[in-house]
A and B are shown apart, each in its own frame.
Chain A
Amino acid sequence: MAELESALGAGRARAEPLELALYRRDAGVDRGDAAAVCFPESGADVAAAVRVAARYGRPFVARGSGTGLAGGATPVGDPLVIVTTHLNRILDVNVEERYAWVEPGVLNLDLTRAVHHLGLHYAPDPSSQQACTIGGNVATNAGGPHCLASGVTAMHVLAMEVVLGDGSTTLLGGLEPDQAGYDLRGCFVGSEGTMGIATRIAVRLLPDPPAVRTLLLDFTSIEAAAATVSGIIAAGIVPAALEMMDAEITRAVEDFVGAGYPRDAAAVLLVELDGLPAGVAAQVDAVRRVGTERGARTVRVAADDAERALLWKGRKSAFGAIARIAPDYYLHDAVVPRTRLVDVLQRVYEIAGEYDLTMMNVFHAGDGNLHPLIVFDQRHPGIWERVHAAGDAILRTCVDAGGVLSGEHGIGLEKREAMPLVFTADDLDLQARLRDAFDPAGRANPQKILPRGSRCGEMQRVPEGAWV
């Protein structure tokens, strides 16, 4: 502690039990224990903190706003928690080359707001964008509704200055289009802090589209809505966003924000089309036609920016709306092939029935990214067991349909033991080797992503309270 304080400055490192308790978990459910927590103000501070941790043989865990849902920032193995929220400066915005250098603690929405007047935006827009940091987005390879056409975080990170497990600092990627050798930048994004800590990030900025139209389609069956999703893609349209909400969540949202969503719909689709005016107009017509052919009851096209904002407010308030229904929720994240959406959703509702749980679905339908949301009251005895069992059943259903374990939240602690559902022992062995190549001493956020036993002869202790 004394060494940390002398490296970072007085008050920048804490180890009081009450303080540490705040950092036992992220927005997921798994808990751990931190040995100490520190608040660096610069990349050099981060490197100094990592070196102190190394001298004492301690692991370290980077943490942004703690909005992660998979336990990626949960401290395991008594680590030093390195909080990046004081590293919150936008360092440079380059309009000609369309990038910004930012520190990892910059909030996602703050970046887009800061470049709005330049006609630019940062594309990844997770639902937590008001609170989550760019550094956390890099760690989890975060997505959001507008990643359907624009792609997830990995497609928007050009370069990073990173602190490695030994406390050294290096640059991965670059502002030039290609770098010699391997794509280390690509390996690092989505590695959930297990390869080091990004201390400066160069992100790509995109020009705002000249034309944007937002449509709300409502259906009397979820099958018709899902068929419309496939129909839109098959018609050669990749919308900027293509979101689905089921009956329960539509009602909850409408009661909460009054966006004009039909309360009696079995499902609604929120479709955003952007680009140049003629192309967008043609796509609006095509989406209207595809939806109507597949049974859309109404197709509402937002008339102006205010109505567009209102339609999106409904979608983005989904998680606030459910707080009115039950005090707790468990949000899942899995991806299935788009063409399997109907089968998988049906099975998800069956699973909810089997475990006597309330399940809602609001998700990125365009890329098959499901977010089944179980709402419950954790004061009910035995409820956690049912919630977890149902979650496990959902995950297996998605994998059986040819899907993957996570689309944008990450694996963290929550799903590491599920990794063998999609990877063989050989696959996992190679992933472990890749991780170790960045961090041979294994100090960067240990025991995340990869299940125990990924490496030959591995011994790890199970963290107290970890859900495995």
Chain B
Amino acid sequence: MTPPAVLDRLDELRDTIRAADAVVPVGARTQWEVGNPTTEGVEVRAPAGVLAYDPAELTVTAGAGTTVAELAAVLRDAGQECPLDARAREATVGGVLAAGLSGHRRLRYGPLRDRVLEVRFVTADGRLVKGGGPTVKNVTGFDVPRLLVGSLGTIGVLARVTLRCQPLAASARWFTSGGDPFAARQRMFRPSCVAWDGTTTQVLLEGHADDVLAEATAAGLDPDRGRDAAVGGPPWPEGPHRGRISVRPSRLRDLAPALDGIADLRWFAEVGVGTVHVAAVDPAGLVAARDAAAARGGWLLRVAGAPDVDGYGAPLPNLAIVERIRAAFDPTGKLSPGRLPGAATTTRAG
């Protein structure tokens, strides 16, 4: 299954990591500014390439350095997909996993952490280890794969992953509506995305073409105005200072007017999920959005820009456990140092 060239490169990866004082895994840098910035370190990139894929298993194994676009192309040829965030085609599978990007179709397909079946990663001391297993169902041992998702390169350097795939939907269309997004969502069985910017709602429906049109009609969307999902996406907000809010889905109702009250802030919310993507012209706008989220029990992750704004805005929950996990996997704090807030940065040896 594994061509020797890839093994050689994994050996290289291990040797490099073992020898370095500080290591920073790098994908395509599309999410490079997420969270807190790392300090300097030896940059490493995992091998690329799809290593094993059998459509009848609905699973695919790929090097963590494989681009999302390459993976999608291989799966598409067999009528399947793995719904990874597809905003940046050059993004790597490992990078998307490390950043914990669930993508805009989470409402239907679930969070990214539910996609990962098996991980192979290099530890801080240069060991190549495995977590999880290659089958779609597995409770053999502790759930290490979920620990790696969103860990921002602080647990280990992802080398190879096995992901759960799914059949491509026969039809996928975006519809637009000016109506109440919350009511519309309740009238649909399984919409893939309900994107709302405070004024306009865009709904992505996937499935049998007849069901897609019937659901759109039932939810008060205009079936004639549907557009193919291949040529459209949600209205990603643009601006130099960006963040991602996570809040209980019902709190979007009163968060929306608060966000609208912030000058020069663009945003769209994933209704039913509770994720809000925000972009500000000024760092102060991002801070105001963070305050609005916190006032409603949520939080904002700084995604890009605003270098003087803290990545998280608050201490990590369960910091003591997080610190113990970090100390267990990376006792000298050499993996992506500085990325996560907390005492870990100060425990670094030397």
Determine whether A233 belongs to the interface, using a CB cutoff of 8 Å to chain B: yes
Within 8 A of A (CB), among B29-85: 54-58, 79-80
Q: In whole angstroms, how far apart are the Cα atoms of A96 and B155 in the complex? A: 36
Determine whether B267 belongs to the interface, using a CB cutoff of 8 Å to chain A: no
Q: Which of A184, A282, A430, A436 has the most CB of B within 10 A?
A: A430
Neighbouring A residues of B214 by C-beta, 8 Å: 276-278
Within 8 A of B (CB), among A396-438: 402-411, 419, 422-424, 426-428, 430-431, 433-438
**Beta-carbon contacts of A113-143 to B below 8 Å, as 1s and 0s?**
0000000000000000000000000001101
Within 8 A of B (CB), among A427-452: 427-428, 430-431, 433-438, 440, 449-450
Chain B binder among A18-26, A234-242, A324-332: A234-242
Chain B binder among A1-9, A55-63, A187-195: A187-195
Q: In whole angstroms, how far apart are the Cα atoms of A172 and B325 in the complex? A: 15
* Inter-chain contact B167/A238, CB cutoff 8 Å: yes
Known contacts A177-B106, A182-B325, A339-B57; A147 and B137 CB within 8 A of each other = yes
Determine whether B316 belongs to the interface, using a CB cutoff of 8 Å to chain A: yes
- Our pick among A97, A369, A422 for the contact of B137 (Cβ within 8 Å) is A369
Within 8 A of A (CB), among B218-250: 244, 246-250
* Inter-chain contact B168/A236, CB cutoff 8 Å: yes
**Beta-carbon contacts of A310-349 to B below 8 Å, as 1s and 0s?**
0000000000000000000000000111110000000000
Determine whether A246 belongs to the interface, using a CB cutoff of 8 Å to chain B: no
Q: In whole angstroms, how far apart are the Cα atoms of A28 and B301 in the complex? A: 45
* Inter-chain contact B246/A176, CB cutoff 8 Å: yes
* Inter-chain contact B208/A151, CB cutoff 8 Å: no
Min Cβ gap B164→A in Å is 9
Determine whether A152 belongs to the interface, using a CB cutoff of 8 Å to chain B: yes
Neighbouring A residues of B186 by C-beta, 8 Å: 96
Determine whether B198 belongs to the interface, using a CB cutoff of 8 Å to chain A: no
* Inter-chain contact A236/B135, CB cutoff 8 Å: no
Neighbouring A residues of B141 by C-beta, 8 Å: 411, 419, 422-423, 427-428, 431, 449-450
Q: In whole angstroms, how far apart are the Cα atoms of A438 and B323 in the complex? A: 10
**Beta-carbon contacts of A219-246 to B below 8 Å, as 1s and 0s?**
0000000000010011011100000000
Q: In whole angstroms, how far apart are the Cα atoms of A336 and B54 in the complex? A: 14
Determine whether A307 belongs to the interface, using a CB cutoff of 8 Å to chain B: no
Min Cβ gap B140→A in Å is 4
Determine whether A170 belongs to the interface, using a CB cutoff of 8 Å to chain B: yes
Total contacting residues, chain A, CB less than 8 A: 82
Number of A-B contacts (CB under 8 A): 238
Chain A binder among B88-96, B144-152, B256-264, B279-287: B144-152
Q: In whole angstroms, how far apart are the Cα atoms of A186 and B210 in the complex? A: 37
Q: In whole angstroms, how far apart are the Cα atoms of A170 and B321 in the complex? A: 10
* Inter-chain contact B298/A176, CB cutoff 8 Å: yes
Neighbouring B residues of A424 by C-beta, 8 Å: 129-130
Neighbouring A residues of B27 by C-beta, 8 Å: none
* Inter-chain contact B318/A181, CB cutoff 8 Å: yes
**Beta-carbon contacts of A149-186 to B below 8 Å, as 1s and 0s?**
00110110000000000000011101111111111101
Q: Which of B106, B130, B139, B143 has the most CB of A within 10 A?
A: B139
Min Cβ gap B316→A in Å is 4
Known contacts A177-B274, A181-B322, A186-B113; A411 and B100 CB within 8 A of each other = no
* Inter-chain contact B208/A427, CB cutoff 8 Å: no
**Beta-carbon contacts of B186-206 to A below 8 Å, as 1s and 0s?**
100110000000000000000
Q: In whole angstroms, how far apart are the Cα atoms of A367 and B57 in the complex? A: 9
* Inter-chain contact B147/A186, CB cutoff 8 Å: yes
Determine whether A210 belongs to the interface, using a CB cutoff of 8 Å to chain B: yes
Q: In whole angstroms, how far apart are the Cα atoms of A424 and B131 in the complex? A: 10
Q: In whole angstroms, how far apart are the Cα atoms of A384 and B294 in the complex? A: 59
Chain A contacts to B: CB under 8 angstroms:
94, 96-97, 140-141, 143, 147, 151-152, 154-155, 170-172, 174-184, 186-187, 189-191, 207, 209-210, 230, 233-234, 236-238, 275-279, 282, 335-339, 364, 367-369, 402-411, 419, 422-424, 426-428, 430-431, 433-438, 440, 449-450
Q: Apart from A178-B111, A236-B168, A411-B141, what are 4 other A-B pairs with CB-CB below 8 Å?
A: A180-B317, A207-B190, A230-B56, A422-B133
The 6 A-B pairs at the shortest CB distance, nearest first, are namely A186-B146, A433-B328, A236-B167, A276-B211, A279-B208, A278-B210
Would you list 8 pairs from A and B whose C-beta atoms are within 8 A, ordered by A residue? A97-B248, A172-B318, A178-B102, A181-B316, A207-B190, A276-B190, A278-B214, A437-B324
